Amino acid sequence: MAKLVSQDAQDRTKKAQLIAQHRELMNSWNNAQDVFTRLCRRLHSSLELDQCLAVFLEELRSIMAFNSFCYQHDQDHDSYVYTEGYGGQHNCQYNLALQGQSLGYLTINRRTRFAEEELAVLEQMIGILVFPLRNCWQHRQAWDAALTDSLTHLGNKRALLDALERSSTLSSRHGEPHALLLCDLDHFKQINDCHGHVFGDRVLCEIAHVIRCAIRSSDVAYRYGGEEFAVLLPHTNADDAMIVAERIRVAVEQHAIRHGELVVNVTTSSGVAEYHQQYASTANEFIAQADAALYQAKRDGRNKTCKAIFSQPALALSPVTN
């Protein structure tokens, strides 16, 4: 019995010593100021790509002079570029990859040649960078997947709500207008019933492409749900938004979708609303205003665009017919 007690006490003492050693190592790690340890420590503090690359640049600049830095990566529908500085006829470029996964290209330029010793240090730092960089990309992909409609690759309803909140905040702060367009495919249920849901999905994808092509570069399209799409138009009043809405309506009406020997045409009804803080304190209230205009277009016979007009004390609707 005394032996067991003695062994237990020895085990506890040994574990306490190990914990003390690890605490000492942890303190040493946290206080170390060499560039490699500092870089490794800082890179694990964020999953944002911009922040990760900014940390890498800051630590690289502390030990090496360079004129410009560029990181770029194209993955699926996501094209990302991070640049700083310009110039420099000498460059070193690295194709970054980890466990068979491409992580893009990193290029550093400067006016003088890189010494072998500098390249060795740079490559060691890049070796520290790749694991956190891979984690940032995985985080970005997961976040994008949560905000992207898997069928059309447009932003989904959640992405729209987030964008509306940001736009409303900026509009209230700077007094800039922005508008929302909701458009719904007319009689879409008949397409599914007559031609099947696979063809219905194809119609949604093609219409999403038509909408992308019809809007301006500053506008953003979303799949709001089912056969309903949304377009957020920054720095745009209701009248200008109506022009975009009509362009979408005409483009959809003229787009022919082939199904075997058949040619299927679809039309869309649209509602437009301009943001006014006194009438829409939340994103859902703003959407409801555009939605009311949309359903007025449906009641007016479909294949039409209707604009919400705000006046005290009620909301009026202004139709535009084809």
Catalytic residues: 227
Q: Count the Cβ atoms, other than its own, within 10 Å of residue 236.
A: 25
DSSP 35-76: HHHHHHHHHTT---HHHHHHHHHHHHHTT---SEEEEEEEET
- Which residues are CB-neighbours of 45 under 8 A, at least 6 positions away? 51, 55
Tell me how far apart the terminal alpha carbons of the chain are, to the nearest angstrom: 97
DSSP alpha helix (H) spans, the chain: 2-31, 35-43, 49-61, 116-146, 157-174, 188-195, 197-214, 238-254, 283-299
**DSSP calls for 233-259:** EET--HHHHHHHHHHHHHHHHH-EEEE
Tell me how long the chain is. Answer: 322
Strand partners, 178: 234
Q: How does DSSP classify residue 155? A: B
Rounded Cα distance between 170 and 259, Å, is: 45
* Residue pair 179/237 in contact by the 8 Å Cβ criterion: yes
C-alpha neighbours within 13 Å on the C-beta side of residue 110: 13
Token pair, residue 57, equals 């640049």
Indicate the angle between helix axes 238-254 and 197-214, nearest 10 degrees.
Answer: 130
